[in-house]
Each structure stands twice: as C-alpha cells, then as structure tokens.
C-alpha cells in the first residue's frame, strides 16, 4: 500500500491595488495491491480560492486609472468625501467601498482498478468526478456608478469521466516488440448558472441586489454536453531499430446535429534508428541517429453546447409592455460537424561526441478544414451570424532543439539548450464570407474599438487591416495618412484600409543555461518572440487630442511653425481632432526577449548532512522571475507577453493589460 498526502496554503496580495488571493488545497492519493493481478486506488483533492479584487471592466481598473486620470484630479473633495473621476473610475473609492468577491470551490475525486488476469494483459477502469462551484458578488457605490450597482452570479459545474482500457504487450523471439491498446471513454458535463443584477440604491450601505430599486439584466441558464469515444492503438518495433505505430478513434459529441455527431480520426507513424545499423559501427562520433515521420487527423468540438439548435431566451430582454416573451439570440445549424485537422511532420534526432551535442529537427504542416467560423448573415434576420463549417487554414513551419554540454569535469558542468520555432499561418479559404475590393474573402470582427483585424484568404488569421499613418506634414502641420493607393491624404476613410501587419510571430524560442560548480548551481532562461505586431488600444486614449484623458509626454510635441518635425498636428489643423483615430499610429513591433527566470542554488554537502543523521538532502535557493525585458522603446509600458484578444480568435491587442509581475523568491528544500 502506498499513499501520498499534500496540502498548500497561499495568501497573496497583488501588485495592483485592491487585489488579493487566498487559496487552500489538499490532496490524498492511495494505492493498494491486493495480489499479483489486482490493484486499485483512490485520489481525492479539494481546492478553495478566494479572490477579492476591483472591477475589471477595462482590463484592469487600477491600470486604466493610472494611465488616464489627469494628475490634478483628486479622489476626494475638500470635505474628504469621494468624488467621481470620470471614465476610468475612482480606484481609491473602489478599493475602500466597492465589493467584488469571488470564491471557487473545486472537488476532484477518482477511483481506478487494474486487473492483470494473464501475463502481459492489463485492464484498467477509471471513474472520476470534477465538481466546481463559482460564486461572485459585486457592489459598486454611487461615486463610480450612478445610483450604485450590484450583481450576484453562481455557476455550478459537474463533470464525470469514465474510461476503460485494455493493454497487451509482448516481446517475441527477442526481436519483435508489440504493444496493443483498445478502449472507450465517456465524458458528461452539466452546468447551471444564475445571475441577477440591479441599480438604484438609497444608500451605499445597502449591499444586496434585492435592495436595488431597478432590476437589471438577469438570467438562469442550464447546459451540458456528452462526449463518447472508442479508440485503439498499436506499436511495433523490430530489433529496436524499425518502429511503426498506428491509432484509430471514433468520437461522438452531443454539440453537433444528430447526423454529424460522430467523427473518425486516425494517425500512423514510423521511425528508423539509423545509429543501430551495422554500417554505422565505425562512426564513433555519432552516438544516436533517428529518422521519424508521422501523419494523423484530429477533431475539434470546442463550440457552445447547443450550437446546432436555435436558441431562445425569455426574461429581461424578451419582455414587452409588461408581458413575458421569447427572443431568438442564436441561429442554430443542424449541419454543423467536427472541425478537422490533418497534420504531418518529419523529424531527425541526433547526438554526437559522447552526447555532448544533441539536436532535433522537425518540419511540419497542419491543415485545418471544415473550420467552425461565424459567417455573417443579413441582419434583417435579427441575428448577425451563424456558425458553419466553412474555412480552411494551414500552419507550417520548422522547429529546432539544440542541446550542448559545453564543459564537463569533476567540479564544473555547463549545459546549454536552444529551441527555435518558425511558423507560417495562412487562411486558405473562407467560403461564404464577404469579399473585399481585391476579390479575397474575409472575416472581420467588430469591437468597441473598431475593426482593425481580418482573417483574409491567402494571409494570416491574425492580419492587421487598417489605415496607414504617414505623420505630420512639416510644412502644413496637418496629420497625413495614406489612401489605398499610397497617396497622402488628410481625410482617410474605411476604404483606405490595407494589410499592415500580423500578430503572429515569425520566430519564437527559448535559451537556457545551467552551470553547476561543486555544490552550487546557476540556471537562467530567456524566451523571445520576433516579427509580431501589437495594436495598442490604450494609445487611442493616451494619444487622444479631444477627450480629457491623461496624455503621454510625447503629446506635448505639437506642430507650431513650418519646418517642425512634430508628433502632434497643429491645434488649428482640421486633422487635429482625428489624429488618434485607429491607424498604424497605434501599431507597434511586438518583438521581445525576456529573462524569464534565474535561479541560484546551494546543496549542503553530505559531510554536513551526515552529522544530522535524519536528513538526506538540503538545498537553499533564490529565484527571480521576469527580471529583464528587451523590447522596442515604443512598446514601453506594455508587457509583450500579456497581449490578448478583444475579439475571439484574433490576437495581438493590448488595452492596459496587467503585466506579469517581477517576483523574487527564496526557499529551502529538505529531504528526509
């Protein structure tokens, strides 16, 4: 019998005002072998997270306030009472008076049994439960929301998993290795959510939603999905030199229409360990050499639970003249089916000079067809789009993983690893989507900040599509943009938008060094990204010439007389109000390199531990994370790793996103 018990407690205060996290978790794992052919186990875990934070309607209210509130605006009046600070909100008042409390309780449990009725044959059955309850309550007071606001949300989710697998493995004549697997899996997910809100409170001391004078948006939803799968896998090796493998699975998802719920997927691969061939015997400097290739298909069902059905809603938005009603908010597609991907790759693994140098090279290509995309439909239907299998996209690229042992002797060892990834993304086709002026089909999300990205046939899915900004004309003081043909203009329109960049990087990678000297060890890791663009939505506010927001210092560089090389057009220019409109003025090079982690450790010598008797090992260490970031000067104030998406599926946009924190940690590890 073996068992494992663990627990953690965390109390963390974030670097942003009004943000704390408390976490308690525990886990118990137990396994018992009844005899040579029966083993069973049980695993139990519970986690409770309590998060007290500020409202985050603008990515992070604390950061939004820090950037946009003018420095002369004070959070309190002369009598010490909190006052409204405008768009970004009074973050000091929010920290002291507002409530935004979230709690998540998650319970995970599973049991398994393994049977080995005969030699080389093993049966395993697994049943698991994952239950979570999320509760969130918020209350915004009068100073930040007129009349005050409160809401309450409860989300319950239960997930059940049942898997059965049968494994057989055997070696024949010391040269043939065979492993077979067959099985089935079943997943059942059910969720329920309740949300209520209200505005208009007589006093800030009234906390509960029920005290609101005006009921707000409320809903009660139920949902769930079922997923069943049958699979098989075979692996074969001859003389440990020639390897072949294949797999097959058939999955059924309740998210699709009745006639399209099942999808069939397969994969196969082969490998040749060349270094074990007799003709390699005399090549002593080659320690390992392997050639491999794989091809396979896979499916994706990450859509709403009821996307194949028309969805209706009653209640808040459906009521009319005091009467209950129903509105259709989603158009179902009964023909919706699995999104499929076909991928293949070919690779080479090699090691040289007593394994001092090892390298892996891979070339891959992945084509996703029957993509599930939101296709626009005439708005006279009352619905903007419908999900359909209409697109095809391709990712192809090259990956390199290089590892070296630079120094190795009795006192010092220095190892280096470098990984590089080159990927090209291309939208192959978007049948049914809109056509642009050049005859290319595209999908364009509409956001609160305009349409700045498109998925365009023949280009990346993360293509930036916007007006090009030229600069301030030193002779006239007018801001100038470029029209579609590349000619300067002071009155650009939406028809002048062109492809200007891509949020997808050309190269990503990591670089690690590990140095060990006697009892000391030093490890540092860099990660980097090159060739991607970032659209600074926050710049629409900080570089705004009309709205009363706090400005960047560069906004003081205003054109005054002919010959000035200025950032901001003349205040008398007709282009002055339009200066900060969406354009490449706000587009930046998102390339960066970051010292992600550096750790220095010391292992207490055995000569010291032997005197203690009961201790097997002691290690002291100090760690720093996110210590240094190298990036373009125009990207200062933006964390290039935390850019995300304003519209689903499109990346590379930043709106006062909270950066990753710079952390310092010291600790001790003791083994008994």
Q: What percent of the chain has pLDDT over 90?
A: 67
Taking the C-alpha atoms of residue 604 and residue 619, their distance in angstroms, rounded to an integer, is 6
Q: What is the pLDDT of residue 12?
A: 85
Taking the C-alpha atoms of residue 530 and residue 395, their distance in angstroms, rounded to an integer, is 17
User: Could you give the dihedral angle defined by the CA atoms of residues 370, 376, 377 and 380, in that order, rounded to the nearest 10 degrees?
Assistant: 160
* 3-state secondary structure at position 118: strand
For residue 520 the two structure tokens come to: 């000391």
Tokens 């964390």 belong to: 639
CB atoms within 10 A of CB 612: 10
**Higher per-residue confidence, 17 vs 447:** 17
Taking the C-alpha atoms of residue 637 and residue 645, their distance in angstroms, rounded to an integer, is 18
Q: Are residue 105 and residue 46 in the same domain, yes or no? A: yes
Q: Are residue 148 and residue 168 in the same domain, yes or no? A: yes
CA 590 from centre of chain: 17
Residues listed for the chain:
672
Q: Which of 259, 251, 215 is nearest to 230 (CA)?
A: 251
CB 390 within 8 A of CB 430: yes
Q: What is the pLDDT of residue 144?
A: 83
Max CA pair span of the chain: 93
Taking the C-alpha atoms of residue 500 and residue 457, their distance in angstroms, rounded to an integer, is 15
Taking the C-alpha atoms of residue 143 and residue 558, their distance in angstroms, rounded to an integer, is 35
CB 284 within 8 A of CB 332: no
Highest mean pLDDT among 10-19, 316-325, 348-357: 348-357
For residue 277 the two structure tokens come to: 């061939």
Q: Are residue 460 and residue 543 in the same domain, yes or no? A: yes
Q: What is the pLDDT of residue 330?
A: 82
Tokens 């926050």 belong to: 538
Domain that holds residue 597: 443-635+649-671
Mean pLDDT to the nearest integer, 602-610: 85
Tokens 């003389």 belong to: 239
Within a domain: residue 190? Answer: yes
Within a domain: residue 644? Answer: no
Q: What is the pLDDT of residue 642?
A: 78
Domain boundary among 236, 260, 293: 236
Q: Which of 604, 630, 631, 601 is nearest to 618 (CA)?
A: 604
For residue 403 the two structure tokens come to: 């590892």
CB atoms within 10 A of CB 5: 9
pLDDT in tens, 214-223: 988 888 899 9
CB 543 within 8 A of CB 537: no
Highest mean pLDDT among 64-73, 77-86, 342-351: 342-351
Query: Strand (E) positions, 473-616?
Result: 479-482, 488-489, 498-502, 507-517, 520-530, 533-536, 587-589, 592-603
Give the DSSP H or E segment for 540. helix 539-542
Q: Which of 190, 183, 187 is nearest to 127 (CA)?
A: 187
pLDDT in tens, 362-393: 999 999 999 988 777 777 777 878 888 888 99
Number of domains composing the chain: 3
CB atoms within 10 A of CB 84: 15
C-alpha distances (whole Å) from 139 to each of 54, 76, 84, 212 are 10, 20, 16, 11
Q: Are residue 211 and residue 314 in the same domain, yes or no? A: no
Q: What is the pLDDT of residue 636?
A: 77
Mean pLDDT to the nearest integer, 129-154: 92
| Confidence band, pLDDT 50/70/90 cuts, at residue 313 | confident
Rg, C-alpha atoms of the chain: 30
This prediction has a pTM of: 0.87
pLDDT in tens, 95-111: 888 888 899 999 999 99
Q: What percent of the chain has pLDDT over 70?
A: 96
What's the CATH number where 287 sits?
2.40.170.20
Within a domain: residue 641? Answer: no
Q: Are residue 595 and residue 482 in the same domain, yes or no? A: yes
Helices and strands, counts by H and E, the chain: 4, 34
Q: What is the pLDDT of residue 315?
A: 67
Taking the C-alpha atoms of residue 84 and residue 668, their distance in angstroms, rounded to an integer, is 48
Within a domain: residue 640? Answer: no
Taking the C-alpha atoms of residue 600 and residue 514, their distance in angstroms, rounded to an integer, is 10
**Higher per-residue confidence, 617 vs 118:** 118
CA 595 from centre of chain: 20
Q: Are residue 418 and residue 454 in the same domain, yes or no? A: no
Q: Are residue 229 and residue 245 in the same domain, yes or no? A: no
Within a domain: residue 643? Answer: no
* Residue partners of 294: CB distance under 8 A and separation at least 6: 267, 268, 269, 270, 343, 344, 345, 346
Q: What is the pLDDT of residue 421?
A: 98
Tell me what the pLDDT averaged over the chain comes to.
91
Is the pLDDT confidence value at 166 over 60? yes
Taking the C-alpha atoms of residue 654 and residue 452, their distance in angstroms, rounded to an integer, is 13
pLDDT in tens, 387-429: 888 889 999 999 999 999 999 998 999 999 999 999 999 999 9
Please give the order of strands across the beta sheet that includes 434-435: 434-435, 441-443, 453-456, 463-466, 498-502
Q: What is the pLDDT of residue 510?
A: 98
CB 391 within 8 A of CB 427: yes
Q: Are residue 409 and residue 535 in the same domain, yes or no? A: no
**Poorest-confidence range of 165-174, 176-185, 342-351, 540-549?**
540-549
Q: Are residue 223 and residue 350 in the same domain, yes or no? A: no
Q: What is the pLDDT of residue 59?
A: 44
| Confidence band, pLDDT 50/70/90 cuts, at residue 277 | very high
Q: What is the pLDDT of residue 644?
A: 65
For the chain, report the end-to-end CA distance as a whole number of angstroms: 20
Domain boundary among 410, 432, 454: 432
Is the pLDDT confidence value at 306 over 80? yes
Q: What is the pLDDT of residue 434?
A: 84
Q: Are residue 149 and residue 134 in the same domain, yes or no? A: yes
Q: What is the pLDDT of residue 317?
A: 66
pLDDT in tens, 478-488: 999 999 999 99
Taking the C-alpha atoms of residue 413 and residue 408, their distance in angstroms, rounded to an integer, is 4
Q: Are residue 373 and residue 247 in the same domain, yes or no? A: yes
Taking the C-alpha atoms of residue 445 and residue 433, their distance in angstroms, rounded to an integer, is 12
Tokens 């200062």 belong to: 636
**How many CA atoms, within 13 angstroms, populate the side-chain half-sphere of residue 327?**
13
Q: What is the pLDDT of residue 241?
A: 95
Within a domain: residue 661? Answer: yes
3-state helix, strand, coil in the chain (%, to 5): 10, 55, 35
pLDDT in tens, 222-247: 999 999 999 999 999 999 999 999 99
Mean pLDDT to the nearest integer, 534-559: 92
**Poorest-confidence range of 199-208, 285-294, 446-455, 569-578?**
446-455
Is the pLDDT confidence value at 17 over 90? no
Q: What is the pLDDT of residue 395?
A: 97
Within a domain: residue 141? Answer: yes
pLDDT in tens, 184-211: 999 999 999 999 999 999 998 888 999 9
Q: What is the pLDDT of residue 242?
A: 97
Q: Are residue 183 and residue 269 in the same domain, yes or no? A: no
Within a domain: residue 531? Answer: yes
Domain boundary among 236, 256, 277: 236
């Amino acid at each position: 019998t073996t068992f494992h018990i663990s627990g953690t407690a965390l109390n963390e205060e974030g670097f942003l005002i009004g943000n704390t996290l408390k976490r308690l978790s525990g886990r118990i794992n137990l396994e018992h072998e009844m005899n040579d052919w029966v083993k069973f186990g049980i695993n139990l875990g519970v986690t409770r997270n309590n998060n007290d934070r500020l409202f985050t309607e603008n990515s992070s209210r604390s950061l939004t306030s820090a950037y946009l509130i003018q420095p002369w605006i004070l959070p309190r009046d002369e009598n010490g009472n909190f006052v409204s600070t405008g768009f970004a909100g009074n973050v000091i008042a929010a920290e002291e008076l507002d409530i935004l409390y979230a709690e998540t309780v998650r319970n995970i449990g599973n049991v398994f049994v393994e049977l080995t009725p005969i030699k080389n044959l093993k049966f395993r059955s697994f049943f698991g439960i994952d239950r979570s309850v999320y509760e969130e309550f918020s209350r915004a007071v009068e100073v930040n929301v007129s009349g005050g606001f409160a809401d309450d949300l409860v989300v319950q989710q239960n997930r059940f998993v049942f898997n059965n697998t049968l494994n057989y493995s055997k070696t024949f004549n010391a040269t043939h290795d065979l492993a077979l697997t067959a099985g089935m899996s079943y997943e059942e997910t059910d969720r329920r959510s309740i949300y209520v809100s209200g505005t208009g409170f007589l006093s800030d001391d009234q906390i509960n939603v029920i005290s609101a004078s005006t009921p707000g948006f409320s809903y009660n939803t139920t949902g769930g999905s079922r997923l069943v799968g049958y699979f098989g896998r075979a692996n074969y090796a001859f003389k440990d030199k020639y390897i072949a493998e294949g797999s097959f699975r058939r999955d059924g998802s309740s998210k699709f229409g009745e006639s399209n719920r099942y999808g069939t997927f397969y994969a196969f691969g082969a490998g040749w360990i060349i270094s074990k061939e007799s003709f390699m015997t005399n090549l002593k400097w080659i320690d390992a050499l392997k050639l491999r290739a794989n091809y396979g298909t896979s499916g994706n069902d990450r859509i709403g639970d009821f996307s194949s059905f028309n969805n209706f809603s009653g209640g808040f938005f459906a009521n009319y003249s005091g009467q209950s009603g129903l509105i259709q908010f989603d158009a179902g597609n009964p023909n919706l089916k699995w999104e499929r991907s076909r991928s293949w790759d070919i690779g080479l693994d090699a090691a040289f000079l007593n394994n001092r140098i090892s390298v892996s090279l891979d070339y891959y290509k992945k084509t996703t067809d029957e993509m599930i995309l939101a296709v626009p439909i005439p708005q006279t239907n009352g619905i903007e789009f419908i999900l359909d299998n209409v697109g095809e996209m391709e990712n192809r690229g090259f990956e390199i993983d290089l590892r070296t042992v630079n120094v190795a002797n009795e006192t010092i060892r220095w190892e280096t690893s470098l990984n590089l990834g080159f990927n090209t993304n291309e939208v192959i086709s978007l049948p049914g989507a809109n056509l642009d002026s050049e005859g290319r089909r595209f999908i364009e999300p509409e956001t609160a900040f305009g349409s700045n990205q498109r998925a365009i046939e023949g280009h990346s899915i993360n293509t930036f599509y916007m007006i090009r900004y030229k600069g301030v004309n030193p002779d006239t003081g007018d801001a100038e943009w470029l029209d579609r043909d590349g000619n300067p203009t002071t009155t650009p329109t939406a028809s002048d938008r062109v492809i200007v960049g891509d949020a997808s990087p050309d190269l990503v990678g990591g670089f690690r060094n590990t140095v060990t000297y006697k009892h000391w060890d030093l490890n540092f890791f860099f990660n980097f990204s090159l060739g991607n663009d970032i659209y600074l939505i926050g710049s629409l506010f900080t570089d705004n010439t009309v709205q009363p927001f706090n400005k960047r210092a560069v906004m003081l560089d205003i054109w005054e007389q002919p010959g000035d090389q200025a950032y901001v057009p003349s205040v008398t220019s007709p282009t002055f109000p339009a200066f900060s409109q969406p354009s490449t003025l706000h587009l930046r090079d998102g390339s960066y390199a970051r010292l992600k982690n550096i750790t220095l450790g010391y292992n207490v010598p055995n000569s010291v531990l032997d005197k203690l008797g009961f201790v097997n090992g002691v290690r002291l260490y100090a760690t720093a994370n996110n210590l240094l970031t190298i990036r373009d000067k125009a990207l200062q104030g933006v964390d290039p790793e935390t850019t995300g998406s304003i519209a689903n599926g499109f990346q590379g946009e930043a709106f006062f996103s909270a950066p990753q924190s710079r952390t310092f940690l010291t600790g001790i590890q003791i083994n008994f």
